[in-house]
Amino acid sequence: MNIHYCADYESMSQMAFDSLLINLRTNLQPLICTATGYSPTRLYEKLADSYQSDPKIFKDMKIIKLDEWGGTNGDYPNTCEYYLQKKLLEPLRISKNNYISFDSSPTDAKKECDRMENEIQEHGPIDICILGLGKNGHLGFNEPSKTLFPDCHIANLSESSLKHPMASKMKTRPTYGLTLGMANILKSKKIILLVTGPNKKKAIKKLLAREITTFLPASFLWLHPNVECFLDKSSL
């Protein structure tokens, strides 16, 4: 893992953007996995700004959603779907054909995970996976546990995840998560990890210890050959 110590959130976002843009200019048909939340927001804003001056590099980009809240009826503005539509898909004019997404309110969550797994097998592997570091060290909804799942799966949400601003603002409390698994993530050709937030100091400290454990899913990124970690020093 190549760790870049950035002065602040803006610097972190800019450095991540610069790294991502290099890849977008050399691969005109990339499959990008996108996380939601505060960590990647400024990066996505910079991509939206870049679209205005150079839209052609986004023309054939495909996006796959990393995860989604389950059991919420899918009609709240705090879903991952709503976030990605407003922050990324609409600004970059990503067509429906180039977007692979968990249904925000599936009638059968297991079948939905199977469908997403088939989508990855057909369109993958992921070229670039954009991740944030969860407060408890999770990636997507791959939560700390004795075991981790390799493929798309239904996830039991930790109390830490349920306290996330997205979930806490929902009228209906999420009852589960839908997420890409650890193997889906680790098979990505490149991973960009954004680390920011004053409430993540413990997770950051554990990650930097380089001890690989299922109780810190993000620690598995040390096994990947091409991870760019952009660390906001103001969060330390």
Beta strands (DSSP E) in 79-136 are 99-100, 128-132
Indicate if 49 belongs to the active site: no
| From 67, 112, 127, 228, active-site residue | 67
Contacts of 171 (CB under 8 A, 6+ apart): 76
Indicate if 75 belongs to the active site: no
For residue 69, list its beta bridge partners. 177
Whether residue 190 contacts residue 19, with contact meaning beta carbons closer than 8 Å, is answered with: no
Indicate if 211 belongs to the active site: no
Indicate if 138 belongs to the active site: yes
How many helices, marked H, and strands, marked E, lie in the chain?
8, 10
Whether residue 166 contacts residue 78, with contact meaning beta carbons closer than 8 Å, is answered with: yes
228: three-class secondary structure by DSSP: strand
Token pair 């009852």: residue: 175
| From 112, 117, 143, 232, active-site residue | 143
Cα angle for residues 161, 165, 171 (degrees, 5° grid):
95
| From 78, 81, 112, 136, active-site residue | 136
| DSSP code at position 85 | I
| From 138, 142, 164, 228, active-site residue | 138
Order of strands, edge to edge, in the sheet holding 67-70? 67-70, 176-179, 153-155
**Residues taking part in catalysis:** 67, 136, 138, 143
